[in-house]
């Protein structure tokens, strides 16, 4: 083929920069704890956390579950809430962007619910769902749905009007235009929503797990606080961070595959 | 206006009027376009050409009057209308070939027929080589060729073009104009070509309608009865160009 893609290699020094910054960060942290600049009751060193990390794979105490079980519980809750947020939020946002009836019906209610922080739902959620997993999923869901709706809505709104006119002159129906023009146009924004919603769901996880949980990374943090174990608190925080990064990478991978035509 | 004297009138525009509030933009425009005719419309800048096209294509409703195709009121869902816009309107998530196919997809042309038509059109407009590329991988002139190919592919009852080559450089424009004429000769579509470039209008069309300043009316009609292929330095063509220029005179 006459048209070939050129691969540009990133210079070594640029690829080393992130490694350097991470090493420097952990090095400084370790030093601050070793020299007791901050007392060990307030901050654990990276090495202590790593040791606890290794121990927690096989040791159930003192919080009652293995690290893998905490991660798995959290991932389940977060993903259930996240997927529900996507399943409801994206179609709703897309439809609100194109169909005036849906916008008229959906928008006022959505705008009313939107400013309520997800944690404010906790008391009601306990009345409704008790303290089981469904309540936590609800909290995560209601936080995650907001960016899904907004981004999908804006994505459709930003569709190039000439493309819509073009489709109209060919006699396309409203539904065809929505499906063939608006949705593909909105996809980059929708994928933005996937990332934002994931971040929000993951953030709301700790809040959701404050609901009398007995497992989960948020629960691990809560237990660390109750037992005054800063290394456990930090382990929970870092695991939330790392798991979030891994999920982010997975989503990025699918985004690139799906948007090959637009982002090339 | 008597465009349809020698052949049957395919398109009849009757008293087409458009007002935006108090602003009268189109004032009772009437004319016919013969079957398979290539008609150009020129007019002073700002005379309402775009409004005229949008009304003709039914993108916006007219205040009064209407456009008839084969005696029926035009309807994008029933008739095959095509519109080539000033800016390239390619769908960035579709390959070149899929873009050309878009109009036919909307009209639910059967698969086999669509493939056949695609192959014909793609080689006619020289897009066969980049069929599987995406719009952001090809040049601006190619993008406009996609739009032109897509427009011809649906066998339009009426093909409307809104200064499709206005943004291209002169050399490329000549090349694409030739290509357009070739497509039109082979596929025998009825074309209304709007431009502010008088030379272009004389070069490509069989007949030219000249619009007046706002509110736009049909001010004059000029027949371009020259054999093809035409030459821009043919004294007869230059003569007609001067005549049209005199009729417009917006400076």
DSSP per position, B205-236: -SEEEEE-SSSB-EEEEEE----SS--TT-HH
Window from A16-25, A28-37, A127-136, B8-17 with minimum mean pLDDT: A127-136
Based on C-alpha coordinates, what's the Rg of chain B?
18
| Residues A216/A73, Cβ–Cβ less than 8 Å | yes
- In this complex, do A261 and B134 lie within 8 Å of one another by their Cβ atoms? yes
What six digits make up the tokens of A199?
């971040």
Nearest 5°: phi and psi at A64? Answer: 100, 0
Query: Residue A151 pLDDT > 90, yes or no?
Result: yes
Residue whose C-alpha is closest to residue A76's, from A141, A142, A145, A137? A137
A236-264 mean pLDDT: 77
pLDDT band at A136 (very low <50, low <70, confident <90, very high): confident
- What is the full DSSP assignment across chain A? ----PPPPPPPHHHHHHHHHHHHHHHHHHHHHHHTTSS-TTT---HHHHHHHHHHHTT--TTTTS-HHHHHHHHHHHHHHHHHHHHHHHHHHHHHHHH-HHHHHHHHHHHHHHTTS-GGGGHHHHHHHHTTSHHHHHHHHHHHHHHHHHHHHHHHHHTS-HHHHHHHHHTT--HHHHIIIIIHHHHHHHHHHHHHHHHHHHHHHHHHHHTTT-SSSHHHHHHHHHHTT-HHHHHHHHHHHHHHHHHHHHHHHHHHHHHTHHHH-
What six digits make up the tokens of B96?
């070149």
Q: Which residues of A touch B (CB under 8 A)?
A: 2-3, 160, 162-163, 165-173, 176, 180-181, 184, 187, 259-262, 264
pLDDT of residue A259: 67
Distances in Å between the Cα of B27 and the Cα atoms of A241, A264, B168, B248, B249 are: 67, 47, 31, 17, 20
Residue whose C-alpha is closest to residue B52's, from B221, B210, B207? B210
Query: Residue A1 pLDDT > 70, yes or no?
Result: no
B250 or A46, greater pLDDT: A46
By C-alpha distance, the chain B residue nearest A179 is B106
| Residues B197/B168, Cβ–Cβ less than 8 Å | no
pLDDT of residue A158: 93
Q: Residues A153-200: pLDDT tens digits?
A: 999 999 999 999 999 999 899 999 999 999 999 988 898 888 888 888
Query: Residue B2 pLDDT > 50, yes or no?
Result: no
Q: Residues A224-234: pLDDT tens digits?
A: 888 888 888 88
Query: Residue A247 pLDDT > 90, yes or no?
Result: no
| Residues B38/B193, Cβ–Cβ less than 8 Å | yes
Round to whole Å and give the CA distance between A34 and A117: 39
Q: Which residues of B touch A262 (CB under 8 A)?
A: 92-93, 136
Which domains, and CATH codes, for chain B?
1-79+157-251 (3.40.50.300), 90-155 (no CATH)
Residue whose C-alpha is closest to residue A205's, from A229, A239, A248? A239
Q: Shortest Cα distance from A2 to chain B (angstroms)?
A: 9
Q: Which residues of B touch A181 (CB under 8 A)?
A: 91
Q: Residues A28-75: pLDDT tens digits?
A: 999 988 888 888 778 888 888 888 888 888 877 777 788 888 888 888
Round to whole Å and give the CA distance between A123 and A134: 14
What six digits make up the tokens of B38?
């290539």
ipTM of the complex as predicted: 0.84
Query: Residue A5 pLDDT > 70, yes or no?
Result: no
Round to whole Å and give the CA distance between A25 and A232: 20
Q: Sheet holding B64-69: strands in order across?
A: B23-34, B9-20, B64-69, B72-73
Q: Shortest Cα distance from A256 to chain B (angstroms)?
A: 13
Q: Which residues of A touch B107 (CB under 8 A)?
A: 170-171
pLDDT of residue B3: 45
What crossing angle do the helices spanning A46-56 and A12-34 adopt, rounded to 10°? 90
Query: Residue A261 pLDDT > 70, yes or no?
Result: no
| Residues A162/B88, Cβ–Cβ less than 8 Å | no
Query: Residue A144 pLDDT > 60, yes or no?
Result: yes
A84-106 mean pLDDT: 93
- In this complex, do B82 and A168 lie within 8 Å of one another by their Cβ atoms? no
pLDDT of residue A246: 87
Classify domain A68-258 by CATH architecture: Orthogonal Bundle (1.10)
Round to whole Å and give the CA distance between A41 and A224: 12
Q: Residues B87-143: pLDDT tens digits?
A: 888 998 899 999 999 999 998 999 999 999 999 888 888 888 888 998 888 887 788
Q: Shortest Cα distance from A163 to chain B (angstroms)?
A: 6
User: Across all residues in chain A, what is the average pLDDT?
Assistant: 86
Q: Which residues of B touch A (CB under 8 A)?
A: 57-59, 75-83, 85, 87, 89, 91-95, 102-103, 105-107, 129-130, 133-134, 136-137, 147, 154, 160
- In this complex, do B102 and A170 lie within 8 Å of one another by their Cβ atoms? yes
Distances in Å between the Cα of A171 and the Cα atoms of A70, B92, B107, B110 are: 55, 20, 7, 17
By C-alpha distance, the chain A residue nearest B153 is A170
Distances in Å between the Cα of B218 and the Cα atoms of A101, A231, A246, B58, B221 are: 41, 84, 66, 19, 8
pLDDT of residue A6: 66
pLDDT of residue B202: 92
Output DSSP code: residue B136: G
Query: Residue A4 pLDDT > 70, yes or no?
Result: no
For chain A, domain boundaries = 68-258
What six digits make up the tokens of B174?
């000549």
DSSP helix/strand/coil, B172: helix
Round to whole Å and give the CA distance between B54 and A161: 13
């Amino acid at each position: 083929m006459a048209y070939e893609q050129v691969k540009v290699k990133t210079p070594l020094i640029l690829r080393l920069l992130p490694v350097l910054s991470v090493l420097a960060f952990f090095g400084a942290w370790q030093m601050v704890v070793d020299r007791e600049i901050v007392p060990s009751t307030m901050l654990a060193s990276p090495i202590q956390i790593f040791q606890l990390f290794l121990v927690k794979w096989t040791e159930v105490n003192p919080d009652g579950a293995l690290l893998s079980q905490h991660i798995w519980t959290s991932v389940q809750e977060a993903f259930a809430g996240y997927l529900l947020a996507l399943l409801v939020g994206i179609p709703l946002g897309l439809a609100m962007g194109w169909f005036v009836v849906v916008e008229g019906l959906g928008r006022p209610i959505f705008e009313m619910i939107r400013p309520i922080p997800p944690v404010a739902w906790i008391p009601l959620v306990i009345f409704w769902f008790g303290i089981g997993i469904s309540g936590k999923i609800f909290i995560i869901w209601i936080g995650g749905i907001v960016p899904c709706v907004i981004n999908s809505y804006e994505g459709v709104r930003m569709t190039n009007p000439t493309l819509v006119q073009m489709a109209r002159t060919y006699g396309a129906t409203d539904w065809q235009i929505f499906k063939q023009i608006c949705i593909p146009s909105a996809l980059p924004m929708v994928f933005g929503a996937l990332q934002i919603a994931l971040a929000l769901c993951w953030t709301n996880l700790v809040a959701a797990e404050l609901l009398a949980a007995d497992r989960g990374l948020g629960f691990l943090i809560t237990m660390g606080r109750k037992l005054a174990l800063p290394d456990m608190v930090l382990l929970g925080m870092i695991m939330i961070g790392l798991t979030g990064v891994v999920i982010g990478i997975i989503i990025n991978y699918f985004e690139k595959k799906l948007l090959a035509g637009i982002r090339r | 206006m008597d465009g349809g004297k020698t052949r049957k009138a395919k398109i009849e525009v009757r008293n087409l009027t458009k007002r935006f509030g108090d602003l009268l933009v189109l004032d009772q425009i009437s004319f016919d376009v013969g079957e398979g005719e290539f008609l150009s419309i020129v007019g002073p800048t700002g005379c309402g050409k775009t409004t005229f096209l949008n009304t003709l294509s039914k993108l916006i409703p007219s205040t009064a009057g209407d456009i008839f195709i084969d005696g029926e009121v035009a309807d994008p869902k029933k008739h095959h209308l095509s519109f080539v816009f000033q800016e390239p309107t390619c769908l960035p998530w579709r390959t070149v070939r899929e873009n050309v196919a878009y109009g036919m997809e909307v009209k639910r042309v059967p698969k086999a027929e669509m493939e056949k038509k695609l192959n014909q059109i793609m080689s006619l407009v020289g897009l066969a080589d980049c069929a599987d590329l995406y719009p952001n991988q090809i040049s601006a002139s190619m993008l406009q060729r996609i739009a032109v190919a897509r427009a011809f592919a649906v066998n339009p009852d009426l093909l409307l073009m809104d200064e499709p080559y206005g943004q291209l450089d002169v050399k490329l424009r000549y090349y694409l104009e030739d290509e357009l004429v070739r497509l039109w000769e082979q596929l025998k579509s009825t074309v209304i070509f709007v431009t502010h470039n008088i030379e272009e209008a004389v070069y490509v069309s069989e007949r030219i309608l000249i619009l007046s300043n706002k509110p736009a009316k049909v001010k004059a009609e000029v027949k371009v009865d020259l054999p093809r292929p035409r030459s821009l330095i043919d004294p007869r063509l230059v003569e007609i160009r001067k005549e049209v220029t005199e009729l417009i005179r917006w400076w």
